[in-house]
Chain A
């Protein structure tokens, strides 16, 4: 009996000690954030402020590789939806030929890039678009026949524009950059890429 209580006491002590020495995920995240600040240096256009997370980045990072729970997803989508600035002229489509150039362009925002040089969307890195381009990635879904399959109406145009502007408004913690919200592409560039997806004359819809 005495031995049994001794074993129990040791077990309880071990559990308490275990809890006391295992850092919480918040502790680790705070330490990691501090470590980042001393492990990078500003270079060209990429300053240390790039390491400052906004609410969306912080919430998505904390999920690691898991899909966000429904309530978290709704919160993230709602706050990101509020950021979208649709074109004041109500026109969503630009020039699909410029859109194709933007979709091909991989440069922009890297410390190795000329800050005055081109900034692209690099869409082909992750998506299939025009069938003539066979060198496309698969991190995102295929966008071949995007407009043809969904219809060419204004509502779909508006959706496509908004999705490029801020994908987290429609799918929380998307892998896709928030091109408009984060100032990667300007309004005209987003219109041009929207046209690449939505213009019936675009090779994407052939």
Chain B
């Protein structure tokens, strides 16, 4: 489980993270630092200790329950939702996404596909389906994050196997690759600014090099993740949303083509690695 270390990304620091890190440093790291090892080694030990129990299991159980409930105006469950391997097949579906769906004539990742099933299958309005895409860490939990935790858990241990044989998929991959290197905003940042080199970190946070196969594999196979600092399971859409926030870009629209293109680029590059999430990260 050492592979499932925290991988918060991009530049910027939320004051809450900083405070938590400072407190953690004062209580745990500083005394140890005097006795043994470097700061970075001690943080690695903290992350290893985190792996002993993952609250994401609560999200997985709740998500399975929501998946099987009859909901929406049509009062049907999501059990007939086709995640790419046929209606009702959840096992292994996430390891093959994103993919082209002929019924929607669109390449979709898991989360845009769940939105599709909620609106088409259950008759829920798009606005209602998007009401609570991310939980707020307290009373307002997200059904979407729970469903994502459940569906992704059903691919745990399976090798990533994302196809780009369809021309729509191949184009999405190329667009995602282009976006990875797109630098803009007030700070000239692109994904590549933080994730284009190996062995780098922001403050004390290690950064995966997503231009290498190994880096993409380690990062992609450990999302979604329960974020200790937020008390929520965060999905890959959230990961991209929050990277772009810190990149000083405008707000990434959930399930937008750009989000799917980048997911396609990273998921495809992770092919061959065993999927290992929901994980737990600081």
Residues in chain A within 8 A of chain B (CB atoms): 23, 25, 28-29, 31-33, 35-36, 38-43, 46-48, 50-53, 56-57, 60-65, 106-107, 109-112, 122, 124-126, 134-139, 168, 175, 177-178, 182-184
Contacts and interface: CB of A to CB of B under 8 A. Distances in A.
B251 A61 contact: no
Contact of B250 (A28, A50, A175): A50
B189 to A, nearest CB: 7
A31 B175 contact: yes
B211 interface: yes
Given A65-B211, A106-B13, A139-B202, A39 B187 contact: no
A136 B13 CA distance: 12
Contacts of A137: 200-205
A111 B187 contact: no
B193 A175 contact: yes
18 contacts: A28-B175, A32-B178, A40-B253, A40-B256, A42-B251, A46-B248, A50-B250, A51-B249, A53-B183, A65-B192, A106-B12, A107-B15, A135-B39, A137-B201, A138-B201, A139-B202, A175-B193, A182-B187
Contacts of A182: 186-188
A51 B250 contact: yes
Contacts of B252: 39-40
B186 A50 contact: yes
Contact of B184 (A23, A52, A107, A184): A52
A90 B261 CA distance: 49
A109 B251 contact: no
B55 interface: no
B198 to A, nearest CB: 11
B256 A39 contact: yes
A37 to B, nearest CB: 9
Contacts of B238: none
A112 B245 contact: yes
Contacts of B171: 23, 31
Contacts of B53: none
B178 A122 contact: no
Given A41-B250, A47-B250, A125 B11 contact: yes
B194 interface: yes
B175 A35 contact: yes
A102 B186 CA distance: 17
Contacts of A112: 245
A46 B244 CA distance: 11
A153 B186 CA distance: 31
B213 to A, nearest CB: 14
B178 A28 contact: yes
B174 interface: yes
Interface in B256-274: 256-259, 261
B137 interface: no
A65 B180 CA distance: 10
Nearest to A51: B184
A35 B253 contact: no
Contacts of B164: none
Interface string B232-256: 0000000000001110111111001
